[in-house]
Every structure is written in structure tokens, then in C-alpha cells.
Amino acid sequence: MSDYSEESVRREVTELEGRSATAARIFDLRRIIGGLFVLYGVIVTIAGITASDAEIDKAQGVNINLWTGIGMLLLGLFFLSWLKLRPTPPPLPEDGSPGEREHAEPGDG
Amino acid sequence: MLNCRVQTPTYARTELATELRLPTNGLDYTILAIYFVVVLGIGFAARRSVRTSLDFFLSGRSLPAWITGLAFVSANLAATEILGMAANSAQYGAYTVHWYWIGAIPAMVFLGLVMMPFYYGSKVRSVPEMLLLRFDRAAHLLSSILFALAAILIAGVNLYALAIVVEALLGWPQWVAIVVAGFFVLAYITLGGLSSAIYNEVLQFFVILAALIPLSVLGLRKAGGWGGLTDRLTARHGDDFVTAWGGTGIGSANPLGANWLTIVLGLGFVLSFGYWTTNFAEVQRALSAKNLSAARRTPLIAAYPKIFIVFLVMIPGLVAAALVPGIGTAGSDLQYNDAIPYLMQELLPNGVLGIAVTGLLAAFMAGMAANVSSFNTVFTTDIWAKYVVRGREDAYYVRFGRLITAVGVLASIGTAFLASSFSNIMSYLQTLFSFFNVPMFVVFIVGMFWRRASARSGFWGLLAGTVTAMVNYFVLYKRDIVAVPTDQGANFVSAIAGFVAGAVVMVIVSLFTAPKPERDLQGLVHGTTSPGMSEPPAAGDDAWYRSPALLGWGAVILAAACYLPFSI
């Protein structure tokens, strides 16, 4: 098993980590979740505001569209404000900025 | 539930009653269409982050813990799990909580606290690769091939289940649903690799919550609140139906067909640890985290939503059992699996109904995608790059990974069509593969804690454990040689048998073969370290609320506390 030791896997993966582009180029998911849930929230809240009596009766007397819509809107706004308050740290792949990549391995390679 | 781990009624009885057609309108379809557009958009946007094979298969080991943690729980929250666990609750009552509080939380905490330093610190890219380092090629190849086959099978089963549900609820022909869902999964994984699978899983997590929370609230309201619900169920099914442990004494009969000992050992220990700690579709999410601290926190962060999700699947099941007296019996049009679709139809107006349909479809696709994205990794890095075409440049393996993703999706589509004509065979195969996680876990645990376990012992332990579990289930139980009341109970017993056999064979083989040299065990056996384990914590990771021990033990205590109201 000389060709597959822990060391060889470590070396290969460490080398790939050095060239990896995900940390630097991937978009921030909070923007997508925030955007989608604000959009869904608005659509469902409007459906709740314009709800007919028959729809409210079906949902056990609860205007469920209104409540769900507001809930989704709040979740979307939560993600957007989190993004605003703590934006994605600018990628510094060369020196491995804190919070970005911690793979600088002192005793390796 | 848990895809291949435990047999739920999900697969064999996915036929939904035809009168469950939902009254969807343009509003609901708009919500669904928006979701599909976003899914594809994530695939295209993630594409530019793929430069190396590590980006494609493991997101470059760079994602934050909250994303990998939610993806970890979501990869398991496939629609087969949601419908299956609601069905379980309608059939067996509150016993369902065992699958969550004892059947998931301890194993997830063990993965994060004990096993993750070995997995992440050794920098392996897959679970089989870990076996290659600790044992030998025989164990590696056997586990890689079995995993790849099982992943395709489960992806196909998910796709078939989706087709049946979509046909019943929306009236689409089965082949349309299979091809459309298969195409979307193919597109976003081929484009963005694991990153787009994980991002979509996180999105799916929130959509499914937005669907299940209103459904559970309205269901409870209709049944007269929690008090009204339990009164009705107790009157019809007896006191034990709404308790966790009632009637599980050894020798006493209960609908689950299992006693407290087989629940704790079979479900809580062997099956659950096997699934959560060695199933690569789950572990892969943690391996894509950005550092060791984030990798350890992945299953721990996932444990908290997992503790509470049981209410969102159990309540609709119990409500359906209370509202439809004969559900699941010959006298009723409704099967146990119809619990959630039935309540959607009864309670949700257009709008929230669209969210619920979207959540269900998203959960089916995520269940399939989790299997496809782990399949392409194992097939490329463990089988192709190690035994078939070795030593090529990295870009070749990215191209091959994309190609094999397409092959994998096409194979799952084929499997789904096969399943629609040979449903018994498929259900049999699914049970067969379900016994594979158990010996995997034995081999891992013995290999990790006993340094004398030799290189050869891994392969024989895997084989012996798998064969024993299968013989116990298919010969001893199915032919009535030993009496176990239900399939679920037999599953638990078979798992325990497989575990014991695997461990015994490993010990015997190790005693007769040479041990692995000490220097080859560094970072793979408990008590040794590797450079990857001692990486300094990143800025902010030393905060108390990010302490793995605190998160882990907190989850265990919370799960134990949740048992109290169901036990007294």
C-alpha cells in the first residue's frame, strides 16, 4: 500500500486546496435565500390579503396565507440583513485571510 | 426512512389514492416555476467556482458550518423520509420519535465529536478512501462498488416515488415527472458540482419548513389541539399510541414489533450509527466544510433542527390517523402514505398549497441529488482514478466527473422506469442494500479504536457483517425460522446480528494476519494524531457557542428532555 498512504492523500488534497476556486468565487447563499423568500413572502402575503371567505374557512378559520407570507417575508429579510451586517469577506486566496481559508499547513509540503 | 437505512412503508406502498388530486391553480404553479428557475440559476452561478476536482466533488473544502450543517439535515430530509415518517406515525403513533431522538441525535453527536477529526484531519475525499488508508484495497473496492450501486438505486427509487406522488397530486404522467426532475438534477449538479447540490439542499430545507409548519398548525387546530388529538387517538388505539415507550417491555406486544432493547441497540446504536457516521451521502456534507472546526460542527448544527423536525412529520401523521378512522386498512381509500397529501388537500388554500407542492418536489429532487453527488465522487475518485485511469491531470477528472454525473442520472432514470414495472424486486434490492451500512460501521469502529485490527480484517468484516444481516433477514425471518412480529422489528434484530458477526470476524482475522505498521496508522486510529487534526482554530472559532463539546452534549440533553413528556 505504499502508493496510497495517508501522506500521499494529504499531499494531493493539499495541493488541490491550493488551487481551489470555491472560496474565492462562490456566491453568497444568503442573497439567494433572502431574495427567494422575500419574493415568496410578498406573493403569499398578497394571496392572504385578497383571501376569500371560502379559503379562510378551508384553513380552519385562519388566514394561513397571510401568516405564512409574513413569516416567509421575515425570514427573507433576516437573511438579507445578515448579509448586509456581515458581508462576505473579500477573498484573499494568496495569503489565506482569516475566515476564508485556514489550510496553510506549516509542517506539510 | 433514511433512504436505505430502515424500511418504512414508503416504497412498497407509494401508490396514492387517485382522489388526492390537489386543487392547484396558476398561483401555485407560479411559485413552483420560480423555484425551478432559482435551482437552475444556482447551478449556473456555481459553475464559475469549479476549477479543480476538489471544487467539483467537495466544494474545495471551503463552505461555512451553517451551510454544511443545514445541508447535512436536508440531505436526509428527502420526500421519501417526510411521507414515510408521517406514514409511520399514522400507523404506529408516537413511536416515530425514536427514529429522531435515539435513532439520530446520539449518532450525529458521535460523528461530530469523535469521528470527524479522523475523517477531516486525514483529508480523505470519501468514506471508502478512509477504508483504503486504514485497511486495504479489497475493503476499499468492495465498499466503493456497493456504495455506488446503492446510491444509483436509491436515486432511482426517489425519482420513481416522485413520479407517483406528482401523478396523484398534479395529474402529470409518470414519465413526464421522471424526465423533468431528472433533467433538473442533472443540469445543476453537472454545472456546479457539490456546491450547487449543497446550496439547493439548504434552500429546500427552508421551503419544506414553510410547507410543513402551516400544515401541522392547521392539522392540530382541526383535530382540536394537542389535547383533542391525543384524546381521540387514545380512545381509538389505546394509551400506548401516544407514548414513546408504552408497551415496549420485552415480551409484550406492540404495533412496532420491537422491544426497548432492540430499539436502543438495533435502531439507536447499530442502524443509526451505521447510517449517520458512514453513509457518504451524509458525511460528504461535513467533508466540504472549510476547516476542522466547521466540519465537526456540521452534524452538531444539524442535530438541533433534527430534534424538532419530528413534530412536523409526526403531527400530520397523527392528525390523519385521528380524522380518517380506517386509514391504511382495506376499508379505506387512504393509505398511510397519504397522510400529508390528504391534509394538504383538506387544509391548504392556493398560495400555501403552492409552497407545499414546491417543498415536496424540492425534497424529492434533493434526495436524489444527494445520492447523485455522492455517487459521482466515489465513482470518480475511488473507482476510476484509483483502478482504471490513474495519474491523469486534474482537469481530466473534473470532465470525467461531469460525464459520470450524466451517466448516473440516466441510470437512475432507468432504475425509476424499472421500478415502475418490477416494484417488488426493487423493494427487495433496497432492503438488501440497507444492510450494508451496518458492517461499514463495525469496520470503522473496530478499525478506529483497535490498532491491532489488521489490513485484511476490513474486507472480511464487511463481507461477514453484510452476509449475516442478510441471512438473518431474508432466510431466518422471512422463512419464519425465528419469530419477529414485523419487518421493522426484524430490521433491528438483523442489524444487531450483522454488527456482532462483523466484529467477531474482524477479531479472528486480525489474530491470524499481520498488524498494520504503526507509522501507517497515524491519524487513523484513536490515540494517534495527524497534522490535519492540530490545525490552529480560525479567528472566532474559539467562541463558547462554537465549542463542539457544548453543542454536542447540548443536543443529547435536549433530545433526552424531549422524551420526558412522551414517557410519563
ipTM for the assembly: 0.88
SS3 B458: helix
Pick the residue from chain A with its C-alpha nearest to B531.
Answer: A107
Higher pLDDT, B128 or B165: B128
**Residues on chain A touching B520 (C-beta within 8 angstroms):** 1, 5-6
Q: Using the beta-carbon criterion (under 8 Å), do A27 and B45 form an inter-chain contact?
A: yes
Q: What is the pLDDT of residue B419?
A: 78
pLDDT tens track for B372-424: 999 999 999 999 999 999 889 999 999 999 999 999 999 999 988 887 777 66
pLDDT tens track for B344-372: 998 999 999 999 999 999 998 888 999 99
Got the DSSP string for B288-313? TBSSHHHHHHHHHHHHHHHHHHHHHH
Q: Using the beta-carbon criterion (under 8 Å), do A40 and B355 form an inter-chain contact?
A: yes
C-alpha cell at B348: 391548504
Pick the residue from chain A with its C-alpha nearest to B28.
Answer: A44
Rg of chain B over Cα atoms, rounded to whole angstroms, equals: 23
CA separation for the pair A28, B68 (Å, rounded)? 14
pLDDT tens track for B275-297: 899 999 999 999 999 999 999 99
Q: What is the pLDDT of residue B417?
A: 86
Percent of chain B with pLDDT over 90: 49
Pick the residue from chain A with its C-alpha nearest to B137.
Answer: A1
Q: Using the beta-carbon criterion (under 8 Å), do A43 and B31 form an inter-chain contact?
A: yes
C-alpha cell at B391: 495519474
Q: What is the pLDDT of residue B262?
A: 79
- List the single best residue of A12, A100, A102, A108 to mutate versus B (max B Cβ within 10 A): A102
C-alpha cell at A79: 437573511
Q: Using the beta-carbon criterion (under 8 Å), do A9 and B536 form an inter-chain contact?
A: no
Q: Where are the domains of chain A?
A: 27-85
SS3 A11: helix
Query: What's the pTM?
Result: 0.90
- Mean pLDDT across B516-540: 80
**Which letter, b or e, does each residue of B378-395 get, where b requires 16 or more Cβ atoms within 10 Å of its Cβ?**
bbbbbbbbbeeeeeeebe
**Residues on chain A touching B540 (C-beta within 8 angstroms):** 99
Cross-chain CB nearest to A39 (options B34, B199, B524): B34
Q: What is the pLDDT of residue B13?
A: 44
Among B183-187, B544-548, B555-559, the minimum mean pLDDT is found in B544-548
- List the single best residue of B61, B221, B456, B530 to mutate versus A (max A Cβ within 10 A): B61
Query: What is the mean pLDDT of each successive set of 10 residues along chain A, which is 109 residues long?
Result: 67 86 85 96 94 86 93 97 86 46 39
Cross-chain CB nearest to B60 (options A21, A33, A75): A21
Reported as a pLDDT band with limits 50, 70 and 90, residue B7 is very low
Distance from CA of B398 to the nearest CA of A (A): 12
Cross-chain CB nearest to A6 (options B122, B213, B386): B122
CA separation for the pair B143, B131 (Å, rounded)? 8
What chain B holds in terms of domains, given with CATH numbers, is: 18-421+540-567 (1.20.1730.10)
